[in-house]
Every structure is written in C-alpha cells, then in structure tokens.
Amino acid sequence: MNLFTGSGVAIITPFKKNEVDYDAFKRLIEWHIEEKTDAIIVFGTTGESATLSIEEKKKVVEFAVKIANKKTQIIAGTGTNDTSVSIELSKYAEKVGADGLLLITPYYNKPTQRGLYTHFKAISEHVTIPIILYNVPSRTGVNLLPETVLELSKISQIKAIKEASADISQIAKVIEIVPKDFIVYSGNDDQTMPILALGGKGVISVTANITPRLIHDQVIGYLNGEQKWIESALKTRELHQVMFIESNPVPAKAALNLMGFIEKDVRLPLVELEEKNLETLKKVLTKYQLIGAQK
C-alpha cells in the first residue's frame, strides 16, 4: 500500500455530552471523501488522542475504516509514550483495515535518540502496514533528529515523517539525507508550501478540517506545477493562524460548530474557546464565507 500524496486531514473527534458522536463523525468522513481529502488521520493531536481511552481509539479507527470503505486512506495515530500500548493499538489498527499508522515521538518520558529509534523499531516489528513518524517537539519535549530519521528510514515499514518541528533548516536536512522514496509531510499548515518546494509530498493538516477541498487543491495543484496555488496559499494565511488562536483542536471544533457540523464539545483539560477569540474566529470564517456552510 502506497501512502498518500496531497492533503491528509488531522481530523477532530466529535463529542456530544463527553461521548464520541459517531453520527457527526460519519458526516465528517463522508464530507472529506466528497471534498477529495487524500487521507484521514484519526486520533492524532487534533483528534484529542490524549483523552481518548484505548477502547475508544479502537472503536474510532474501526468505525472510520468502515465508513471510508477504501474511498480514502485511514491512518491511525497509534503512537503513545508507552511502547507496549503503541504496539497494541498499532496491531489492532492493522487488523481492522487501517491503511497506515502515525507514530508520535514518546512524550513526557524524554527518551534519547537511541531510545526513539528503539521505540519505533519495536513497533515496526509487529505490523506490516506503512508507518509515518511524527515529530512535534513543541508538544512532546523531544526532537527527532535528521540522523535518527535516516536510520529509521532503513526499516521497511517506516515510509514517511510528519515534520512539525517548525525548523525549516532541519526539515530541509531530513529531505536531503533520506532516500528519495521516503515521504516528508508538512505538519504545520503555514509551512506547507516551503516544504513542498524542498521536496515534500503533502501535508497533514488542521485547516483541512474546515476547508478540505481548498487544501487538497493547493497541494496537488502545486505538485502538478500550477504556480497559482502559491497565491492561493498566501490568501489562506489567516485561516491557518486562527486555527491556533487557542490550543488545537479548540478553534477547529468551534469553527466546525459554526459551520453546522458538530457540537463544540472538547474534553478537559481543554475548554471551549474564549469569547474574544470566538469573535475573532467568526470574523475570519465570515471573510471566507464558511459560517453556516452546512446548515
């Protein structure tokens, strides 16, 4: 199975009265398929993986695979800071038909580079589907260095990395030293075009939660040599910015609520968007004609 090129959405997990809202989740998955999203990444950071139980994660990935029905790729964010739990979730995701795995660097533990390599290698030995590494030091407190990525790229199942270090120099070095068939995805929406210009093949996007067709068209258009999509990406700057006006995924959920898709519920310790930030969000969504888009 080849991993996607283009736009993968780091999809939110909709809640209603603190339970996963599967009706809303089904609507979102079907909408992303209609809007040409190239992959749906379930229970990543944006999917509030930190407050989903193991059993909820298993149910979510099985549900997503069933609803997508191979019309788009389903990638499961099975990485945790416990290698044995990551293995359990990864094996289950493969068993129920996920197309790939997203494995974040272990957070809080602060492993060494040797520890990171050994962690990912251990998981890879229990699955056969493609693995995407996920480097986001601002969230995890540990940075997966280019030299370690190079060593991990030699493991057959490890096919790609979602780079959200925000360090363009580091990302450029990764692209420079890894094999040509190893995929680098942007993990920050506002850095997608620079990363594509360096040789990246797509984005795992937060903004695609609210504008999936636009993000897909920008990435695929640019990769096809259509320079007009650079201007389009520049015009999307405010959307990317407002998606992080508070901790992700709080703004994305508030936006989808205003668009008519979901309840705005998040799980503690996250709380709903502050009123002043909600007003800013409304102004930006109105500018892009997104308010009430699905009502």
Separation of CA 210 from chain center: 13
Residues 6+ apart with CB under 8 A from 140: 104, 105, 106, 107, 108
Alpha carbon of 11 to those of 64, 179, 185, 213: distances in Å? 11, 29, 16, 14
Q: How far is CA 200 from CA 68, 168, 193, 288, in A?
A: 26, 12, 9, 27
CB 262 within 8 A of CB 12: yes
Residues assigned a catalytic role: 134, 162
β-strand partners of 132: 102, 160
The answer to whether the CB of 8 falls within 8 A of the CB of 40 is: yes
